Structure formats: C-alpha cells, structure tokens
Amino acid sequence: MKTKLKEKKPWIKRGPLKTFSFFLGFSAVIWVVVQFSKEYTEVLEMPITYTNLPKDKILVGDTPKTLDLRVRDRGFYIAWNRVFPQNIAIDISDATEDGNSLIYDLELQKTAILSQLNLDYEKADLLQKNIKISFEQRAVKKVAVLSSIDLSFAVGYSALEEIKIQPDSVMLSGPANILDTLNSIKTKPIKINNISNDVKGKVKLETTGLNEISLFQEEVSYSVRTEKFTEGKVEIPIKLLNVPEGTNVVIFPKEVVIFYQVSLNDFDEIDSSSFVVAVDFNNAQDSDGFLIAQILEKPDQVNNIRLNEKKIQFVIKR
C-alpha cells in the first residue's frame, strides 16, 4: 500500500511577499527623495572652456581646465552635477594682462559664473581668487581688403563710383614669416547680376591657404551706388606737348570725339571744356609717324570713356 507524501507548504505565501516587496521599494524611494531633498555642502569640480580669446595671443602652458566650487544646495543638484558636471565659459576678454599672463578675477566675475550654473550668489563659494592663463604674443599686421565681387548691370545702368569695401583693411595675426608675405586679402568671389538699384551687403573674406593666420574680423561690408546712365559725346581739339622750339609739327586729325557714359542727373554738366586730350612729341622717335592720344583730364562723373581715334598722324615741316 502506497504512502501519500505530504506536500511542503511555502514558508511565506506569494501574496504577502509581493506586498512586502512593494512597500519595501516604495519606502526606499521615499527615503531617497527625502535624503536628496535635504541641503548639503559639497565641493564640485566643474569643467571650463575659454571664449573670446584675443586674436593676437596663443594660450600656452598648463591652462586650468576645471574650477572648484563649494556648493550649498539640495542633494539632487549636487548629485546631478557630479554625474553630469555643467561647463563654465570663461570670457577671456574680461581678463587683465599681467606680463605674459592673463588674470581672470573669479570674485569679480562670480555673478556671471554662477548665473551659468543657476546658483544663487550666497549658495556657492569659489575656492580660488583668480585663474592665471599664460600666453604668447603673435605677430600682427594690417592688410588691404581687395574686392572679388563681379558686378553686372542692367541695360542703361552703371555704377556711379567704384565699389566701396568697409573696412578697407583688416588686422591679421600669426607667424611673422607668413605675415611678411601678405599685403592684402581678398573677399570671397560673388557675382551680382542685372543691377538697377544701389547694392549693399556683407561678404566673407577668403581664408583658403591661411590656416595659421587669424583674422580679427571674418567679413566686410560692400556697397555700390547705381544710377541710370546715358551716352554722350563731345568733340575737342588735341593739344600737342613738348614740341622743340623752332620745330613746326602738324597733326591730323586736329580734333577727336570722346564718347562717355554719364548719369542722367549730370548729363547737362558735361561739355567739351570738361576734357583735355593731348599727344606728346617726346614719343615721336619710335612712333612710325603716329602719336598716341591720351586723355589727361576728365570729370569724375563720367565712365567708360573712349576716343574715336587714338593714333594721331604727325608731320614735321621744314
């Protein structure tokens, strides 16, 4: 006859175990919340980065990379910044120069620093008075800015003057041996088509091949005044210059026609007295019987000037 084995009962029933585990976990969460809600005083090490570094200086040596603060705040804030420390931006432009060092006064800049960390002034102390940053001076040079802007005007329109670049020169810094080879810097090339109004804007400077050079500014402004133009022409006599005394020289033709463009507003101000055209007899030796006419004087309002005849024949009469 078989004997029935008596089933062993569990020491703790499953229902009460689940309830116990829930309240244990809940109690732990409440304990953590309570503890982290309390205020603590701890020293936090915050990473720092430097901004607005002067273009004429290079940071050298062992530049400080962290800043220590004694913080009085809730445990949540302190724990978070231990795991995910906030970065502090140090604005070098606020530092003072002392020999070959820049001194950043932490007490003077305390408000600006703590505002980055969302901390009240009374809740944090900086454990050092300043940051000392060593630097080396770079060579500096001022160079002209040259325009690479291609302007194309609508029919009947033209520029009243040359394109203006502002500023017309910029400061560069870098190794002296490279700066010695630079006298100018160009703008990036841009093309503007079908212009019929005044044009202005900003354009970046071309830095290709200037990897070791720092620019104090990376863009400039440009502007050009535009107006509707018309073509005019005047006939004026040719002056004969540097004819030796006692020499009789005859030129042909004795007059030339000058074609020019001028704005409609200035058209009535231009006449034959506005120009001077001459030939120079000093150039007669190698001229094969011709002298080249040159425009010696012209009004500022005109452009695209041309002569109907440049080669002027001459004859020496005995």
164-166 β-sheet, strand order: 164-166, 219-224, 199-204
Inter-residue contact 200 to 190 (CB < 8 Å): no
Q: How far apart are the C-alpha atoms of 251 and 241, rounded to whole Å?
A: 12
| pLDDT confidence of residue 318 | 65
How confident is the prediction for the chain on average, in pLDDT? Answer: 85
| pLDDT confidence of residue 1 | 46
Domain ranges of the chain: 34-137, 139-224, 229-317
pTM: 0.57
pLDDT above 60: residue 20: no
Q: Comparing C-alpha atoms, which of 84, 203, 90 is closest to residue 151?
A: 203
pLDDT classification of 6: cutoffs 50, 70, 90: low
| Fold adopted by 229-317 | RNA Polymerase Alpha Subunit; Chain A, domain 2 (2.170.120)
Give 288 or 139, the one with higher predicted confidence: 139
Average of per-residue pLDDT across 92-116: 90
- The tens digit of pLDDT for each residue in 255-272 reads 999 999 898 888 999 999
pLDDT above 60: residue 40: yes
- 34-137: CATH, from 1.10.10, 2.170.120, 2.40.128, 2.60.120: 2.170.120
Please check whether the two domains, 139-224 and 229-317, share a CATH topology.
yes
10: helix, strand or coil: coil
Q: How far apart are the C-alpha atoms of 200 and 192, rounded to whole Å?
A: 11
- The tens digit of pLDDT for each residue in 198-212 reads 999 999 999 999 988
Average of per-residue pLDDT across 134-157: 91
The pLDDT > 90 percentage for the chain reads: 45
Inter-residue contact 130 to 103 (CB < 8 Å): yes
Inter-residue contact 103 to 132 (CB < 8 Å): yes
For residue 282 the two structure tokens come to 């000093």
Architecture of domain 139-224: Beta Complex (2.170)
| pLDDT confidence of residue 219 | 96
pLDDT above 70: residue 24: no
Inter-residue contact 132 to 101 (CB < 8 Å): yes
